[in-house]
Structure 1
Amino acid sequence: MTESRDLGWIRSWATSPQMTDAVFADVTLRQEIRISGGGRRVRIRLTNEYGTAPLTVGAGRLGLATAGGGIAPGSDRVLTFGGRAGVVIPAGAPVLSDPVDLPVSALARLSVSLYLPNRVEACTGHDMPLDTGWVIPGDAVAEAALPGDAEPLPAWALVSAVEVLPDEPAGVVVVLGDSRVDGVGSTAGGGWPERLAERGVYVCGQGISGNRLLNDGLGPSGLARFDRDVLATPGLSHVVVSIGLNDIAVSFAPRVGPLADFLTMFPGEPVTAQDVIAGFRQLIDRGHDRGVRVYATTMAPYGGNDIFSPEGEAVRRTVNDWIRTSDAFDAVLDFDAVWRDPTRLDRIRGDLHEGDHLHGNDAGYQALADSIDPSIFK
């Protein structure tokens, strides 16, 4: 298998594209992004993949972010697309900006400003709250300081990846997952892939809250988006599969009260342990065909959450045993062992979850990142 990469483009940050209900017109979107690894040049990937009409970006800027939504002096760069200041992105398509000469260090915070002159109704983004994004009336891409009429942007919009040219050979780790990869329950940007990046790893978290491996529902299934979100990643060297618990939990959850209405968002027949394992084998084969290593995390507990059932717990343990013992994956990260309560093996330790017995808090996600030896990605 490939152990290193030439000095080509490396994806340093990414978020999985989704349909959002945001509507914009004649506004500037300013979003701050903390990349994982650095490089000497940068390009931005914009997405209209769920758009139903062409999307016009009238102007764009890139710079190093400062506190309060500002741009560091001397770092402001104009974004161009094929040499032009704006671009029309076809419905269903992404677009890459031209490379920008801007040296960036690992964990640098970038500011991306995009002016949208026309009405955008079907906006592709990522349904995860952020505290470092703003909507500004009119064309404000060149404003070094955040204008006073800026309003909070509730979720990621249009920007799906940041790529860099590194100064030395490197590979990127892409994590395919659900809400636990998205960092639900943590402060903004506090998920375990972000914490892993702080240990010198180029890493992209491709989590979708509520996502499943085998069936669509909240976003396309892991099997359906694997090529787009993972295998198409520039510089890909390792995949971490951290998905499947929602398949199991939804299959056996009690259909009573408000939970029954919630579960209607998850179509498809109940799955078995063998169904999930077969899905994992598909990802392994597809990853190995591209010459990348495929790792897995075990599924951490969820006892105490409304979606828990004894039947689902039995399947979770069966699949975890297979992950640990089958040697099907190139390596295993035992997140179940990190999070489980030694006195209640079906539950997360009380100090590691956000209160719902399903998602981590900042300490929980930090514990997952700390359990990983970064050398396994070399």
Structure 2
Amino acid sequence: MTETNDAGNWVRTWGASPQAAHDGIGSLDGHPPLADVTLRQVVRISGGGRRVRIRFTNEFGTAPFTIGAAQVGLAATGGGVQPGSERVLTFSGAPAVTVPAGGPILSDPLDLPLPALAKLSISLYLPGRVETCTCHDPALDAGWTIPGNAVTAPTLPDNAEVLPVRALISAVELLPGAPAKTIVMVGDSRTDGAGSTPDANHSWPELLAERLAEHGMAAGYVSNQGISGNRLLNDGIGAAALARFDRDVLATPGLGYVVLSVGGNDIGISFAPRDDGPLADFLKMFPGAPVTTDDVIAGYRQLIARAHERGVRVYGTTIAPFEGAEICTPEGESARQTVNEWIRTGGAFDAVLDFDAVWRDPDRPSRIRADFHCGDHLHGSDAGYQALADSIDLSLFG
């Protein structure tokens, strides 16, 4: 099949929303510059396919950077690559490419049959210096830096060091064997998987992907566009959902459904205690005036309208409890209840996923069940995220 005939049939099977390194949670602070180094990163796809391409990103870069060589293959334990699965990535037929500042770039498609839930190893060599790294912070899946050009190394060298972010890659796209659709989740740290076990694929979108794969569903392709600390209306940690929606959602190949699970940080930060303690330093990461429940609802309506304009169904999740977390106040809890009531009864979403009902403690509904949070009363445990994934009606994606 020619690349021309491939066009229009691609679906996104993995994604990580790009951020500026300084707009994350600081995982790259103090990290050595990325120069004359190989990045090796492992990602687990959702649905499978027969041809693959990788989306690299310099969207928050202030200068171009060069990929001197790149390779993809099936990941082996401990950072290795399964023999025989290695494929050289090219760009318009060339083995190297310069990625422009402010832009992404797609590799050429290549044949690599991949089953659902396969783990890919993506390696890229950076011969020069990356002045500003576009990344996703943090990475809950393994990644390493290796001095020099180690793209073809079959196993992870002893001099490899942990890479704490998802760096310079933002998507894996496939040609499936049958018509398929991608589900895009837009959210904050709870969607990103904060609190779950690293390298275990226990965010609720990944766990939902497992359920979809088990049932062989055509909409078994999942792109997790959660950003830890993200908000609906204002920038801060990552661009606001309203600002990044076209790039992270509407431009997704094979887009079929959108799940909105954002807005909790808008409420929590707007109604957080104002004092001079440690919380005050945390809140400095979130610029902009406090917002109201009407503002949050208006933001939902905007995203719903923009998705519906493309003929895409939009499902909304209710905002789960966060009493016990430092940012929680009675006013914030009241605002959460107001927004959740609108999500459930307003009729604007095509369906509602009631995450609040799944997570809340029956004896104290303003708190998460003790076994469903990771200890901070805010983010999920592995069991909590599994409960969210299990609560979703798969027929919504049929």
Deviation string 1:257-292 (CA, Å, 9 cap, x unpaired) is: 111121111111111111110000000000000110
Determine which of 116, 119, 125 is the counterpart of 2:129.
119
RMSD over aligned Cα, in angstroms?
1.1
Report the alpha carbon displacement of residue 7 of structure 1 after superposing the two structures with TM: 7.0
**Distance in structure 2 (CA, Å) of the matches to 1:154 and 1:265:** 20
Quick one: which amino acid aligns to residue 174 of structure 1? V
The residue correspondences of 1:230-241 to structure 2 (distance < 5 A) are 230-241=249-260
> Could you say which residue in structure 2 is the equivalent of 1:211?
230
Equivalent-residue separation in structure 2 for 1:277 and 1:191 (angstroms) = 26
Within the alignment, does 1:197 sit opposite 2:216 as a pair?
no
Q: Distance in 2 between matches of 1:160 and 1:265?
A: 24
Structure 2 SS opposite 1:199:
helix
2:53·2:109 contact (CA, 8 Å) conserved in 1?
yes
Q: CA deviation at 1:179?
A: 0.3
Tell me how far apart the structure 2 counterparts of residues 56 and 139 of structure 1 sit (CA, whole Å).
Answer: 13
Measured in 1, the distance between the counterparts of 2:285 and 2:162 equals: 28
Question: Which of 329, 335, 339 is matched with 2:355 structurally?
Answer: 335
Kindly state the Cα deviation for residue 130 of structure 1 after the two structures are TM-superposed: 3.4
Asked if the contact 1:10/1:165 (under 8 Å) is kept, the reply is: yes
Structure 2 residue identity aligned to 1:17? P
1:373 aligns with 2:393: yes
Task: Select 2:283's aligned residue among 259, 263, 274.
Answer: 263
Structure 1 equivalent of residue 62 of structure 2:
52
Amino acid at match of 2:242: L
1:26 alignment partner, SS class: strand
Farther-moved stretch of structure 1 (116-125 vs 40-49): 116-125
Measured at CA, do residues 131 and 15 of structure 1 come closer, stay the same or move farther in structure 2, by a change above 3 Å? closer
Q: Equivalent residue for 1:14?
A: 15
Identity, % of aligned positions: 68
Equivalent residue, structure 2, for 1:321? 341
State the secondary structure of the residue aligned to 1:117: strand
Task: Select the residue among 291, 300, 305 that pairs with 1:280.
Answer: 300
Q: What is the identity, as a one-letter code, of the residue corresponding to 2:260?
A: V
1:167 is displaced (CA, Å) by 0.5
Aligned-pair CA distance for 1:147: 1.3
Instruction: Kindly state the Cα deviation for residue 170 of structure 1 after the two structures are TM-superposed.
Output: 0.8
2:49 is aligned, of 39, 55, 66, to 39
In the comparison of the two structures, how many residue pairs are matched?
373
User: How much does 1:45 deviate?
Assistant: 0.1
Q: Deviations over 1:77-113 (max 9, x none)?
A: 0000000001100000000000010000000000000
Deviations 1:188-214 (A, max 9, x none): 231100100101221111011111101
The residue number in structure 2 matching 1:171 is 181
Partner amino acid for 1:192? W
CA contact (8 A) 2:43 2:141 kept: no
Is contact 2:8–2:253 with CA below 8 Å preserved after alignment?
Answer: no
Range moving further from structure 2, 145-154 or 94-103: 145-154
CA displacement, residues 22-55 of structure 1 (integer Å, 9 cap, x when unaligned): 5201010000110000000000000000111111
For residues 262 and 52 of structure 1, the distance between their equivalents in structure 2, rounded to whole angstroms, comes to: 26
In 2, the alpha carbon distance for the partners of 1:113 and 1:347 equals 42
Query: Residue 63 of structure 2 aligns to a residue in which SS?
Result: coil
Superposition deviation, residue 352 in structure 1 = 0.4
CA contact (8 A) 2:230 2:241 kept: yes
Rounded Cα–Cα distance in structure 1 between residues aligned with 2:121 and 2:141: 13
Alpha-carbon shift at residue 144 of structure 1 (Å)? 1.0
Structure 1 residues 24-173: aligned runs within 5 Å? 24-173=34-183
Spell out, residue by residue over 1:223-280, the C-alpha distance to the aligned partner (whole angstroms, 9 max, x if none): 0000000110000000000000100111111012111121111111111111110000
Q: 2 CA distance for matches of 1:80 and 1:373?
A: 40
In 1, distance between residues paired with 2:117 and 2:51? Answer: 15
- AA matched with 2:307: G
Using the alignment, how far apart are the partners of 2:46 and 2:172 within structure 1? 10
The question of whether the paired residues in 1 share the 8 Å contact of 2:70 and 2:88 is answered with yes
Return the alpha-carbon distance in structure 2 between the equivalents of residues 68 and 358 of structure 1: 31
Structure 1 residue 151, shift from structure 2 partner: 1.1
Unaligned 5+ runs, structure 1: 1-5
The equivalences for 1:280-359 within 5 A come to 280-359=300-379
TM-score, reference length from structure 2: 0.92
Deviation at 1:121, TM superposition (A): 2.4
- How far apart are the structure 1 equivalents of 2:18 and 2:48? 23
CA contact (8 A) 1:7 1:165 kept: no
Runs of at least 5 residues in structure 2 that lack an aligned partner in the other structure: 1-6, 22-27, 213-219
